[in-house]
Amino acid sequence: MRIWLLVLGTLAVMTMPGLTAIAPAAPAPSVAPKSWQLQFEFEDPRRLVIQLPGESKPRVYWYMLYTVTNNSNRDVQFMPRFEIVTDNLQVLETDVTADPAVFAAIKKIHTKDRPFLLEPLEVLGKLLQGEDNAKDSVAIWQDFTGSDARQFTIFVSGLSGEMVILPNPTYDSTKPEFILKDLPGGIKTKVMVNPKRFVLHKTLSISYRLPGDDDARKQADPIRQNVEWLMR
């Protein structure tokens, strides 16, 4: 199975267990924004241990608080995507269906410093211009440290309108571009397996290291390594 990634500016196709580059470095984002771009301020991710209603064992979640402000010259639709990629190739999307008790616990912890904290789904939609219309929210993930991850990167897209389209050098015109996958409830969804081209978006990359040995890393606070924009 092929998984399409853009890792630190390089377009690659990942075939387990190795990672083989198939194209030269992707275009770098423009130094001066070519399109609208939102101001994004964040706090480093934190671990939350919580006992959910009806469960006998506590669960571990990670969350990242952020503030987004629209200082561009237009109102924009804010539709962010938060993704964690670990050094052992785990890929985690934000858990938008997390039990409401998870957000309630986060909000309670930050009542004083973020009194207007919005649930992840509440922040979606039109973001008006100006500091007065800034929004506070949070990205939430399920725990990923139980599989010996030593490093991870958070990718945040939806902060800029800048994008570029690249042809897929391995596109095979004799094969279908997508397949249909069955979901629960009789629903079908398209899964891209042979794209003609890639659409790369300007994305914020925030990398972290988890210090210590295997046991210590499960309790350690992440250490920020690098913050950069890339096309992904």
What one-character DSSP code corresponds to residue 222?
A: P
- Beta carbons within 10 angstroms of residue 47's beta carbon: 15
Whether omega before 80 lies within 30 degrees of 0, making that bond cis, reads no
- Give me the pLDDT at residue 26, please: 67
Contact residues for 83 (Cβ-Cβ < 8 A; gap 6+): 91, 92, 93, 94, 154, 155, 157
Q: Are β-strands 39-42 and 197-209 bridged in parallel, bridged antiparallel, or unpaired? A: unpaired
- Give me the pLDDT at residue 20, please: 39
Angle at 202 between CA 77 and CA 37, to 5 degrees: 45
Q: What is the DSSP string of 139-169?
A: EEEE--GGG---EEEEEEESSB--EEEEE-T
- Give me the pLDDT at residue 36, please: 94
What one-character DSSP code corresponds to residue 37?
A: B
Contact by Cβ (8 Å): 220, 211: yes
Q: Are β-strands 81-86 and 18-25 bridged in parallel, bridged antiparallel, or unpaired? A: unpaired
Contact by Cβ (8 Å): 195, 179: no
Unique residue bearing structure tokens 């934190």? 46
- Give me the pLDDT at residue 102, please: 96
- Give me the pLDDT at residue 138, please: 98
Q: What is the DSSP string of 50-99?
A: E--TT-SS-EEEEEEEEEEEB-SSS-EEE--EEEEEETT--EEE--TT--
- Beta carbons within 10 angstroms of residue 34's beta carbon: 14
- Give me the pLDDT at residue 64, please: 98
Taking only the tens of pLDDT, the chain with its 232 residues reads 333 333 333 333 333 334 333 445 668 888 777 789 999 999 999 999 999 988 899 999 999 999 999 999 899 999 999 999 999 888 999 987 789 999 999 999 999 999 999 999 999 999 999 999 999 999 999 998 776 889 999 999 999 999 999 888 889 999 988 888 887 767 778 788 888 988 899 999 999 999 877 777 777 899 999 999 999 9
Q: Whose CA is closest to 189, among 202, 203, 175, 179?
A: 179
